[in-house]
Amino acid sequence: MENNKYKKYGLMLYYLLRIISKTMKIEVIKSPKLIDGEGYVCGFWHNKLVGASLGLLNFSEKKAVLASPSKDGELISVPLEKMGFTMVRGSSGKDSIKSVLKLIKLVKAGYSAGTPLDGPKGPIYEVKPGMLYLAQKSGKALVPVGVAFNNKWIFEKAWDKFQMPKPFSKMVCVIGEPIFIPSDANLDDYLELVKTTLFEMDKIAEQKLNTKN
């Protein structure tokens, strides 16, 4: 019964996003180093989940998203699935073998898989190693995704200060250069690099947005 309630909320969220997105002006800027048809592991901040999902809609024909088994995961999985994303439910941690193995299989098959790197519960802006592990084990590159809106709601009480674009807002999504993680690398050595790069992508998105206002 509880799951049905969140599925209903998720359906409402889908139609809300569909209406809002049709009023928005969305620009996606991709690194020229990205190869069409190649599978990537796409990472972004949890509070930019909506913007990143809208930006990645046309990034790849085959796209997957990791959603946590929590109520929040149930809520967001419905609209994302209706938007064309293949959903994988579970954790991105190394101990969640089933979901990690499924994602590795999908990425190797040419899917681009994405999830918030500081989710599902934070702390905010602290990169967790799960998706870096996925990139390393799949042999595919991690791609940082930055997002900026010129007009948005910010949910201040949420742990991540979740951002939702308002109708008729402008959005810029920047999909950065691929980051390859060698099979023998220590993931801890890449956490700060990825964190810094994500902040840089958001900064570039803000700058691009400001030049258009």
Q: Which band of pLDDT confidence, cut at 50, 70 and 90, is reported for residue 101?
A: confident
Return d(Cα 148, Cα 17) in angstroms, integer: 16
Whole-number mean pLDDT of the chain? 91
Asked if residue 49 belongs to a domain, the reply is yes
- Across the range 70-87, mean pLDDT stands at 85
Is 11 contained in some domain?
no
Tell me what the mean pLDDT of segment 77-84 comes to.
91
pLDDT for position 123: 95
Report the pLDDT averaged over residues 10-19.
92
Give me the domain span that covers residue 200: 25-71+83-212
Residue 77 lies in a domain: no
Does 6 map to a domain? no
Q: How many domains does the chain divide into?
A: 1
* Residue 192, domain member (yes or no): yes
Q: What gap in Å lies between CA 77 and CA 66, rounded to an integer?
A: 9
- By the 10 Å C-beta count (0-12 exposed, 13-18 middle, 19+ buried), 87 is classed as middle
In a domain, 137, yes or no: yes
pLDDT tens readout for residues 111-161? 999 889 998 888 999 999 988 999 999 999 999 999 999 999 999 999 999
Residue 1 lies in a domain: no
Do the domain assignments include residue 5? no
| pLDDT score for 31 | 97
